[in-house]
Chains A and B, each alone.
Chain A
Amino acid sequence: MKSRIFPLIATIVVFILLYMIGWQRFPAFGTTRVVLNILTDKSFLGVAAVGMTFVILSGGIDLSVGSIIAFTSIFCALLIKDVGVHPLGAFAIALALGAAFGGAMGAIIHYLKIPPFIVTLAGMFLARGCAFLLSEASVPIEHPFYSDISGMYYVFEDKGRLTFVATLFVIVLLVGLIIAHFTRFGRNVYALGGDKNSALLLGVPIARTTIGVYMLSSVLATLAGIIYSLYTRSGYPLATVGLELDAITAVVIGGTLLTGGVGYMAGTLVGVLILGVIQTYINFDGGLNSWWTKIVIGALLFVFIALQKVLSSGRPVFKLPSLKR
């Protein structure tokens, strides 16, 4: 059990270290503003990463989340602007659509036995393509509801703002935590990711769990799209290209194994925060170019994976599925 929780502890230690380095150079890191800004700025990435955590825990992968966010943002924008639907109605329709989309991907993966990588790749093309069909340009949303939402925030003493979208991210994360660790569905996801054949023999409903996982991921991606549209007050078909990569990176940095079955939802939060801290640091430091973000994140990814390898050598938890005894 210890080896399982270690990656999470390592992630938290690295986050604190990075934050300290930032604090040392820029005293502003000591205010709530920086943390809350990261939470707001990474809210849609975070919500998508929660869904991605479930998919990866189940031993799959979902490449479609970035496209679903873009589709949702433009879909809601057009529904509100051109059709005149109330934003809440638009959100409900988008969420239903997202659930159907994810369920369809899950069904194809399970029943037709096509690898998740390929199915969600097609889903990625489809969602992005549909977003382009709806509109090629950015569509601004001007609705009193949106102004109300962006007016809803709590200001701390040092002017840090806890925005609505950041709160939503934290709530989604808590709900995700409960689902992953304290419900039957969560246990099924872990079992499925740990060993599909054993899970089947133990009576885990494979079909229902697989479809449920992709449905959950797409619903959360849709929610992330709604957050994106609330945050930017617009819909944009070219939004969040490659966000799935950031989400996967956050999940992996958070200590979840891509082989499935091992990981913690809390790690994903820390993974998202680490991405945010690196970006904030590089933004604060005027001399560093933006491409350093990518290089540092790649290096960090390497360090984490190497760490997991070194710590886990010889323990069955970390063995590749191909090397099963």
Chain B
Amino acid sequence: MSEMTQPAERGFSLQSLTRNRAFWPIFALLLILLGNRLIAPDFFNIEVVEGRIFGSLIVILIRGAPVVLLSIGMTLVIATKGIDLSVGAVIAISGAVAAVLVSTTDINPILAILISIGVGALCGLWNGILVAYFNIQPIVATLILMVSGRGIAQLITNGQIAIFNDETLAFVGTGVIAGIQFPIYICIAVFVIVMLLVRRTAIGLLIESVGANDRASYYAGIKAAQIKLFAYVASGICAALAGLILTADIKGADANNAGLWLELDAILAVVIGGTSLDGGRFFLGLSVIGALIIQSVETGILQSGLPPTFNLVVKAIVILIVLLLQSDVVRRWISNSVNRLRGQMRGQTA
């Protein structure tokens, strides 16, 4: 709407570009990728070795797959004005279920994977019921599973790291189809399915409505509780998929450390993508960009040869800068100073 009131500038307008919601996250991602390129000259190189595509950009996609998946589910939850702290614990549980099933029983690995996803959905259902039907604050409701979930996962693996040798399950994490690793396919498939669901059916609109005002939505005839339930179950399924990838990658389920603190990365990815923690409008694609930003920072630090001890500090600083760029106050300040600069320049040329 602001574009209407602004006098149209000739051709390319920086202002309308910076006003676009997608601009800042993508700008930040490009900046970080460029920074990585400066650190490691072969950063953008992509080559095919023995039928596999290799390159730092691909590494970011593969390593970032779990957080990308989590951020997709988390976006839906946050859009309903909720939050899901339990996804890290669900990763541990689903990984433990799959690993224990294939290593101790003769079950078909595909069935084991489906059961593991089902368990993730069940965890989401539990969260969803607490939030939607018991009206418990999302942060508390999901805290319960966050606290107890790792205990449950340890119960399943009996406190050991459950190791397995099943090729089918391992394929989820390390398999290659047409030169590209399987986790990337999972991410694309989940993204497309969720995108179709929320943008080609009414669910997306209903989620935004519930997130903006659940009582008003309820009075308008929307089954707010069911919409919330849907979001939490989706988040649980995404977490289970992430858990399968992480477990398959190392051929073992570590109940203590699998997916540790990934819920924080996922929430961060959503916020970097511009979805407000207050619910309402949500931006799935930008959440994925947010997840890729986080992964690019991590990969960049690893490649830069900086000691890994710098990892967290650099991550914190980058996050702060991205968040500052997102903040309305800072943005207004920047656009004001840009305008003033432009005014001065005009004054000089006139």
Contacts and interface: CB of A to CB of B under 8 A. Distances in A.
Interface residues of A, number: 46
Interface stretch (B55-63, B152-160, B172-180): B152-160
Interface core residue of A111, A119, A292, A294 (most chain B CB under 10 Å) = A294
A266 interface: no
B140 A297 contact: no
A302 interface: yes
Interface stretch (B35-43, B109-117, B131-139, B236-244): B131-139
Interface stretch (A125-133, A171-179, A211-219): A125-133
Interface residues of B, number: 49
B222 to A, nearest CB: 14
Interface string B317-350: 1011001101111100000000000000000000
Given A258-B140, A301-B144, A126 B277 contact: no
A117 interface: yes
Interface in B54-81: 81
A320 B147 contact: no
B245 interface: no
B118 interface: no
A1 interface: no
A145 B316 CA distance: 35
Interface in B143-167: 143-152, 154-155, 159
Contacts of B150: 291, 294
A125 B316 contact: yes
B214 interface: yes
Interface in B293-319: 309-317, 319
Contacts of A285: none
A290 B256 CA distance: 12
A147 to B, nearest CB: 31
B155 A122 contact: no
Nearest to A128: B312
B323 A291 contact: no
A291 B310 contact: no
A136 B309 contact: yes
B81 A322 contact: yes
A320 B143 contact: no
Contacts, number: 128
A231 B329 CA distance: 44
B143 A129 contact: no
B215 interface: yes
A294 B309 CA distance: 29
Given A113-B328, A122-B319, A129-B311, A298 B137 contact: no
Contacts of B143: 245, 248-249, 252, 301
A212 B328 CA distance: 23
Contact of B137 (A121, A124, A259, A293): A259
B271 A115 contact: yes
A295 B152 contact: yes
A249 B316 contact: no
A130 B313 contact: yes
B264 interface: yes
Nearest to A324: B215
A115 B277 contact: yes
A297 B147 contact: yes
B187 interface: no
A125 B146 CA distance: 19
Interface string A284-325: 000001111111011101100110010000000000101100
Given A112-B327, A122-B323, A323-B214, A305 B315 contact: no
Contacts of A306: 134
Contacts of A298: 144-145, 147-149, 151
A13 interface: no
Given A118-B267, A125-B316, A305-B140, A132 B309 contact: yes
A320 B327 contact: no
B312 A309 contact: no
Contact of B144 (A118, A122, A293, A302): A302
A251 B316 CA distance: 27
14 contacts: A113-B327, A118-B267, A125-B312, A126-B313, A126-B320, A129-B309, A129-B314, A132-B312, A132-B313, A245-B143, A291-B150, A291-B152, A294-B150, A305-B144
Interface of B: 81, 83, 134-137, 139-141, 143-152, 154-155, 159, 213-215, 255, 264, 267-268, 271, 277, 309-317, 319-320, 323-324, 326-330
Interface of A: 61, 63, 111-115, 117-119, 121-126, 128-130, 132-133, 136, 245, 248-249, 252, 258-259, 289-295, 297-299, 301-302, 305-306, 309, 320, 322-323
5 shortest A-B CB distances, which residue pairs? Answer: A298-B148, A129-B312, A294-B151, A129-B313, A291-B154
